[in-house]
Amino acid sequence: MKLKVLALLSGVLVVLAAAAFAVNRWMNAPEDIGRMGQTLMSGVDTAAARRIEVISPEHKVTLDTADGSVWAVAQQHEFPVDTKKIKSLLVKLTTVKLAHKVTDNPDKLGELGLLTEQENGGKLEKDKTGRLVTISGPGDKPLFRLILGNDRQGGGAMAFGGTYVRYPDEKTAYLISDSVVVDLRPQDWIDTVVLDLDADKAIQSVRMTQPGQRTVQLTREKAGDPFALAGLPSDQVDQDSVRRVTGQLAGLSVFGVKAGNADPAEVGRKHVGQVEFTLFDKRRFTMDVGTEKAKDDYRYLTIRAALDAAVKDDALHAAVEAFNKRFEHRLLAVYDWDGGRMLQGWDEYKKKPAKKS
């Protein structure tokens, strides 16, 4: 009886040893040793990056740079990129590590959102083909390609965290525990800041004109003073209404860019109003703002800067030149509400009489 027990135990030990050996071989397979624990972009020199492409079923984004410092969005008429977003993406790709190998079964890749367009019959399809990130160097030399697939899901559509990823030249799917956020719309990559000023200290005057309406002229002598409205003294001007507009002008942001020769009917610019504001440093900005909402629900404007030739400050002249180079020949999208506020009429700035109790 004892011999039978010993034989049985020996057999079990042999099976366990064989299983352990197999698991050890699987965990230490060359493929896993080469990838597991490494960062997504291991071994790639990010300083060599000259083009980044993000292709998803909904959009294509192309970001280009000549020197690695100033980037532009091709689909936004070569408008400058928010460089913080470039840096954030590259930091993620060079710090996030492959946490787990999921599968190397090609039949499972579609379920994880990791198929290439070619593998999916030439179609980009949500939840099957994911987001393909391609980074190229000088001369379009390929440096890096990665598919960001679906997020890991649990029962009841509860996310457990992590994202499935795959290198498109390989069949292996991995899981990363940290997310890599990549904006998919070209307009979400642009540097949205047009001006970043302290309105109370910077703006000296504002002039607004539009067809068929009385011109609005707001002026003041020095920073911090209340504005007077042409035809009214400052104590009869609604200063809150003034601050809403001057604050908007000083902190002007855009949310999309179109070509300057876009069809006026498409962008609400059959008619335009003009907004001109002058700073205490003698810079002058002129905007032509569409009087109607565009078909995409934005309001479109142009903007240009000028500086009196009598001003001898070389830095200011250079700033004006750089500003115009950035914004010329482009239409800038702002929220419809904000665009309409820029063109509000003379009566909107007149202080309303106090309500009788």
Task: Write down the pLDDT at residue 292.
Answer: 95
Task: Write down the pLDDT at residue 357.
Answer: 59
Asked whether 285 and 295 are in contact (CB, 8 A), the reply is no
**Calculated CA dihedral for residues 205, 210, 216, 217, nearest 10 degrees:** 30
pLDDT tens, residue order, the chain (357 aa): 444 444 444 554 444 444 443 333 333 344 444 477 899 999 999 999 999 999 999 999 999 999 888 999 999 999 999 999 999 999 999 999 999 999 999 999 999 999 999 999 999 999 999 999 999 999 999 999 999 999 987 554 444 578 999 999 999 999 998 889 899 999 999 999 999 999 999 999 999 999 889 999 999 999 999 999 998 999 999 999 999 999 999 999 999 999 999 999 999 999 999 999 999 999 999 999 999 999 999 999 999 999 988 999 999 999 999 999 999 999 999 999 999 999 999 999 999 887 665
Residues 6+ apart with CB under 8 A from 271: 210, 211, 290, 291, 292
Nearest-angstrom CA–CA distance, 17 and 304: 77
pTM: 0.82
Task: Write down the pLDDT at residue 152.
Answer: 87
Domain residue spans in the chain?
Answer: 43-188, 199-349
Task: Write down the pLDDT at residue 154.
Answer: 58
**CB-facing half-sphere around the CA of 324: CA atoms within 13 A:** 13
